[in-house]
């Protein structure tokens, strides 16, 4: 049940990110200076943490979506859904650990220096 809730929550979060992304990208046509200011705020460490959360949401949503497809379309999917969920969770944790430096490295250098 929690994977169902997490799948819906991550889907809504991704939708809101895409909505904001379209709006801030459209800002370049209205005022390039305002667009530059908005993009400059995206280079802060707080936004880097939000980006890491976005990566986490997209990765979980994608992996869990593949699990849902397997449960729906594989004859033995329902029988192995618990094992597939644990596989998704372990794979998600491993990939998120691997994403720490690429996503948060800039923020760490900005906070603590080179």
Nearest alpha-carbon partner for 107 in 62, 63, 44:
44
Could you give the C-alpha distances from 37 to 12, 15, 28, 40, 47, in angstroms and in order?
27, 23, 11, 5, 14
- 21 marked ligand binding residue: no
Residue 19 burial (CB count, 10 A) = 10
- DSSP assignment of 34-86 equals HHHHHHHHTTSHHHHHHHHHHHHHHHHHHHHHHHHHHHHHSTTTTTTHHHHHH
**Residue positions in the annotated binding site?**
61
**Residue positions in the annotated binding site for heme?**
61
């Amino acid at each position: 049940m929690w994977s169902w809730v997490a799948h819906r929550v991550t889907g809504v979060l991704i939708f809101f990110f895409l909505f904001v992304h379209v709006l801030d990208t459209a800002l370049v046509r209205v005022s390039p200076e305002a667009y530059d200011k908005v993009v400059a705020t995206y280079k802060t460490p707080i936004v880097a943490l939000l980006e890491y959360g976005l990566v986490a949401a997209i990765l979980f949503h994608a992996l869990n979506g593949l699990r849902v497809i397997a449960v729906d379309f594989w004859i033995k999917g329902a029988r192995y859904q618990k094992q597939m969920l644990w596989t998704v969770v372990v794979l998600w944790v491993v990939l998120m650990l691997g994403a720490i430096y690429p996503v948060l490295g800039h923020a760490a250098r900005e906070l603590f220096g080179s």
